Structure 1
Amino acid sequence: MAIEYDDAVATFEWDIPDDYNLPSVIESHADSFGDRVAVYFRDSDGTREERTYDDIRRDMNRFANALAELGVGKGDRVMHLFPRHPDGFAVQLGALKRGALLVPCSEMLKPKDLQFRANDCEATTVVAHADLTEMVDPIADDSPLDTFISLDGASGDWQAFSDLLDGQSGEHDGPAIAAEDPMSINYTSGTTGNPKPVRHKHRWMRCFELVNGPYWWGVTAETDFDDELLWATTGTGWAKWFWSPVGVGLTTGASQLIYEGEFDPETFLQVMDEEGVTRLCAVPTQYRMFTQVDLSGYDIDLQSALSAGEPLNREPIERVEEAFGVTPRDGYGQTETVALVTNYPGIDVRPGSMGKPTPGLGTTIIDDDENELDAGEIGEIAVPVGCPGIFDGYYEKPNLDEKTFSGEYYRTGDLASRDEDGYFFFEGRADDIIISAGYRIGPFEVEDALISHPAVAEAAAVASPHEERGDVVKAYVILAEGYDANDELVDELQSFMKAETAPYKYPRRIEFVDELPKTSSGKIRRIELRQREVDQFGQ
């Protein structure tokens, strides 16, 4: 499908029924086309499983019945921690059918990260893969968690997901759920303090169907999915999982691929070839690594290639175009939003551009006084407060809500400019968030962990340009008395960080310095350190 942009903007309407919720959408899909495969699952050994929409509805309701017996109800918080898994949708949908809020967690987190999340939102239930339960066990007694459910096995206090479903009815009469009821708490990194609990309502899923589906993926509920297979390479613990596999794949009734294995360019290309993927969503780092492989050896027939997380540079765009005949199309948004800016189907892609604002959002670029800026001027990407496509607040954080929504706009913290034709171009962060291979990393998290090492007296973390990952974490370190700068200490600090934080957060580059640039009030001038990195490593 190709979009007539001006017509789409002029005619867009927010059609969100008052009683909208994702479990009811799945019930409707199962009634209409229950035998359609919703999930083609493939593990790293090549074993394949399938789940139809009938299967997902049945297991959603069976799990909801089990949760009801365990006392899980409306408003309760259910954490989940599992890799891409054939039962992942059933877990999420079953909890939602009980009116609970999902709290997704990445398997790359550490026990202390899980403990913070559990305590911060007062989660009482956790669903984890059997291989990951050891991440929860050490923090169980120091958190509100009291119900433990395990995928693919159980031991100790953990109850097996399969055992809980055994004998349960495939129908469930749960609490009434409305579009304005809370649905999820997604934790997102900030420049200071701990991750923030972004609260979304059930309407979020309808917004993805109305925006991300047609204006990025190029699909709607009316698409003929008989010859379509969608694949978003994201994991279950990230907002991108809700952006695409849940928010587009499930809402539109598509068939999609879920692959369990870790990223390897040759393996991913082979999987696309063998499974017949027609629409792919990957991160720029993955596209860059695809271009290091001989693409001529794969028979891949893509209709769409999507990229998100950070700007995609010209070389991988041209290589994918040459090999597969499709142009990778960037999309931009946040954990807090739907797609705000996209290279929509049919657009004349301009390398380096995020595309144009999606219909209905009112996305614009403003200055510090909330004045909209003209073409060529750099300002902050912003969305009018009250737009259905953005989050409605932080979970039980009224002070944060007041700070975030007190003006006319929700300010994203990302800087951009627009050209005379309305194309947006990313210009950097208004704050100090580091985006590496699509992961958002708050410098505070890195610095806080680093200074817990006895060798580190002070540290500052910034983004450092990298050819494949876009940026990597660079740490400037002032050593404590008695320690000497050397390669062995770099290795030691990196190993320490991998044990203390999620692996993607560790500093891939470390530089020992005698002092850090600071403002008169003592704040680190990370902007100055970032410029040093740009000067050394280029954009």
Structure 2
Amino acid sequence: MGVDYKDAVGSFEWDVPESYAIPSVVADHAESFGDRVAVRFLDEDGTREERTYAALRDGMNRFANGLEALGVGPGDRVMHLFPRHPDAFAVQLGALATGSLLVPCSSMLRSKDIEFRATDCNASTIVVHESLTDMVEPILAETPLERVIVLDGDGGGDGDRWTTFRSVIDGRSAEYDGPDLSADDPMSINYTSGTTGQPKPVLHKHRWQYCFNRINAPYWWGIDEETDLEDELLWATTGTGWAKWFWSPVGVGLTTGATQLIYDGEFEPDTFLELLASEGVTKLCAVPTQYRMLANADLERYDVDLDDTLSAGEPLNREPIERIRDAWGVTPRDGYGQTETVALVTNYPGIDIKPGSMGKPTPGVGATIIDVDDDKEVETGEIGEIAVPVESPAIFDGYYEKPQLDEAKLSGDYYRTGDLASRDEDGYFFFEGRADDIIISSGYRIGPFEVEDALVSHDAVAEAAVVDSPHEERGSVVKAYVILADGYERSPELKDDLQTFMKEETAPYKYPRRIEFTAELPKTSSGKIRRVELREKEQHKHGL
């Protein structure tokens, strides 16, 4: 499909159904096309399972009945901690059907992270995979958790609060008469990644999933009412604990009624490429790191059926975009948003993609770029902060029981994302970094991503992070932390070569005056660079 952007922006109207809630959407799909496969599950051990929409509805209802029997009901917080799993949707949908709020957790977290989340939102229940019970058992006494439901395995720990998913659903009815849910009922508490402090509890209502259906599906995934879903197989490589799971497997896959591939296995380029070809995936959504690794493989060996490749999480560099386009004739399209939002800016279907661009604001959302110090929109080419009007349905509903954060972020005319961008004369957005990451050197505002993007285009650079470094005369200068590619060794000559290269690739004032070679970069559990640690390191080095 192709999008007539001007027409889409001009004609878009919000009409959120009052009764919209994802459990009822899945139940409607089961009534309309219950025998359609909703989930095709594979794992690296060769397990293959399928769930139809009718089976999803039945599993949802059995788990909801089981939770209700345990005393779980409207307003309760239900955490979950499990890998990609064939019963993932049964757990999530079943908890939501009771009126509970989901609190997703990633298996990349640590026990202290689980303890923080459980205590912060006063969670009463956690569903945990048997392979991850060691993350939960040590912190139970320090949390308000009353019950642990183990997915697979025999239940794990000691005490009455432990049970199993199988015990919860055994003998339960596949029909459930639960609370009447609406678009304005709370749905989830999705914690942010914590790049600049403690993770924040982002509260979303069921409306969030409707917004994905209206925004992410047509203006990023290329799925609208004319799409023949019988011919599509979606694959989003995200894990169950991330907001991205709700962006795509739930927010697009389930809401549209599509069939999707869920693969539980470590990322390995050749394995993923073989699955793309053998399973007949038509739409792939992956993260930039995965695309970069795929682009280094022999793509021409694989006969794929892809008509869309989507990227999210951080900006995608131009090299993998060009490599995949040349090999398969499909161009990866970036989409930008946050845990707090839907897709705010996308390279929508049919757009002329500009390397390095986030695309254009999605219709109906109202995303713009405003000055970092006031609410005035910036001029073309200027760096400002991406912002969304606070009345937009496409943003979150506040931070769970954190009125002070709500006051700071939602009391003005705009929700400020904290992300910086510039806009060119054609309306394309270009990511410049986090607001906290902006570098001001001799009066120039410099966004770190442009510098990092240019650096990694050099053959010697595998990965780079750019921060400000205190300087007596200039206030700050650009400092680059560089991980070298295989076959290269650190040397003064290589530093000089990189600096010369950068002066040709970017405006001269943006080149890194300081370069430090390193073996690794500090990152969050979701893989985002913690530039705050690098800035603190620079401050300490210079006695500040």
Q: Is TM (by shorter chain) over 0.5?
A: yes
* Residues 234, 253 of structure 2: 8 Å contact kept: yes
Match of 2:377 in 1: 372
The one-letter amino acid paired with 2:65 is N
Match of 1:420 in 2: 425
Match of 1:386 in 2: 391
The one-letter amino acid paired with 1:311 is P
What is the 5 A alignment of 1:150-189? Answer: 150-153=150-153, 154-156=155-157, 157=159, 158-189=162-193
* Residues 366, 382 of structure 1: 8 Å contact kept: yes
Distance 2:244 2:336 in 1: 11
What is the 5 A alignment of 1:99-248? Answer: 99-153=99-153, 154-156=155-157, 157=159, 158-190=162-194, 192-248=196-252
Match of 2:84 in 1: 84
Distance 2:377 2:5 in 1: 21
SS at match of 2:436: coil
1:370 deviation in Å? 0.6
What is the 5 A alignment of 1:286-297? Answer: 286-297=290-301
Distance 1:221 1:105 in 2: 33
1:328 pairs with 324, 327, 332, which one?
Answer: 332
Do the aligned partners of residues 260 and 309 (structure 1) sit closer, same or farther apart at CA in structure 2, a change above 3 Å counting?
same
391-400 or 502-511, larger mean C-alpha shift: 502-511
SS at match of 2:392: coil
1:16 deviation in Å? 0.8
Identity across the alignment (%): 67
Distance 2:412 2:257 in 1: 38
User: Is residue 40 of structure 1 aligned with residue 45 of structure 2?
Assistant: no
Distance 1:168 1:197 in 2: 33
Distance 1:423 1:513 in 2: 33
Match of 1:8 in 2: 8
What is the 5 A alignment of 1:57-72? Answer: 57-72=57-72
1:401 pairs with 399, 406, 411, which one?
Answer: 406
Do the aligned partners of residues 504 and 320 (structure 1) sit closer, same or farther apart at CA in structure 2, a change above 3 Å counting?
closer
Distance 2:170 2:279 in 1: 31
1:274 deviation in Å? 1.0
What is the 5 A alignment of 1:89-100? Answer: 89-100=89-100
Distance 1:408 1:216 in 2: 27
Distance 1:376 1:16 in 2: 35
1:310 deviation in Å? 1.4
1:513 deviation in Å? 7.7
Match of 2:540 in 1: 515
* Residues 196, 530 of structure 2: 8 Å contact kept: no
1:174 deviation in Å? 0.6
Deviations, residues 363-406 of structure 1 (Å, cap 9, x unaligned): 10001211011211110000001100000100000011001012
Do the aligned partners of residues 165 and 467 (structure 1) sit closer, same or farther apart at CA in structure 2, a change above 3 Å counting?
farther
The one-letter amino acid paired with 2:82 is F
Distance 1:336 1:503 in 2: 16
Match of 1:300 in 2: 304
Deviations, residues 102-121 of structure 1 (Å, cap 9, x unaligned): 00000011101000000000
Distance 2:254 2:140 in 1: 33
Distance 2:101 2:286 in 1: 27
Match of 1:23 in 2: 23
SS at match of 2:252: helix
Distance 1:463 1:109 in 2: 28
1:319 pairs with 308, 316, 323, which one?
Answer: 323
Distance 1:466 1:35 in 2: 50
Equivalent pairs counted in the alignment come to: 470
Do the aligned partners of residues 299 and 196 (structure 1) sit closer, same or farther apart at CA in structure 2, a change above 3 Å counting?
same
SS at match of 1:340: strand
Deviations, residues 41-83 of structure 1 (Å, cap 9, x unaligned): 0011222100000000000000000000000000000000000
Match of 1:528 in 2: none
Distance 2:338 2:525 in 1: 20
The one-letter amino acid paired with 1:251 is T
TM-score, with normalisation over the residues of structure 1? 0.83
Match of 2:346 in 1: 342
Match of 1:53 in 2: 53
* Residues 193, 525 of structure 2: 8 Å contact kept: no
* Residues 233, 283 of structure 2: 8 Å contact kept: yes
Distance 2:431 2:310 in 1: 17
* Residues 188, 197 of structure 1: 8 Å contact kept: yes
User: Is residue 361 of structure 1 aligned with residue 365 of structure 2?
Assistant: yes
Deviations, residues 517-538 of structure 1 (Å, cap 9, x unaligned): 47xxx6xxxxxxxxxxxxxxxx
Match of 2:508 in 1: none
SS at match of 2:79: strand
The one-letter amino acid paired with 2:366 is G
Distance 2:314 2:24 in 1: 34
1:318 deviation in Å? 1.1
Do the aligned partners of residues 330 and 502 (structure 1) sit closer, same or farther apart at CA in structure 2, a change above 3 Å counting?
closer
Deviations, residues 119-165 of structure 1 (Å, cap 9, x unaligned): 00000000010100111000111101011101111233531112211
Distance 1:258 1:108 in 2: 18
* Residues 378, 415 of structure 1: 8 Å contact kept: yes
Distance 1:72 1:467 in 2: 51
1:430 pairs with 418, 422, 435, which one?
Answer: 435
1:466 deviation in Å? 5.7
SS at match of 2:90: helix
The one-letter amino acid paired with 1:184 is S
The one-letter amino acid paired with 2:236 is A
SS at match of 1:162: helix
Match of 2:445 in 1: none
Runs of 5+ consecutive residues of structure 1 not aligned to the other structure: 438-461, 469-489, 523-539
SS at match of 1:71: coil
Match of 2:75 in 1: 75
Distance 1:31 1:467 in 2: 55
* Residues 191, 431 of structure 1: 8 Å contact kept: no
1:347 deviation in Å? 0.4
* Residues 235, 241 of structure 1: 8 Å contact kept: yes
Do the aligned partners of residues 463 and 68 (structure 1) sit closer, same or farther apart at CA in structure 2, a change above 3 Å counting?
farther
1:196 deviation in Å? 0.5
* Residues 221, 251 of structure 1: 8 Å contact kept: no
1:189 deviation in Å? 3.3
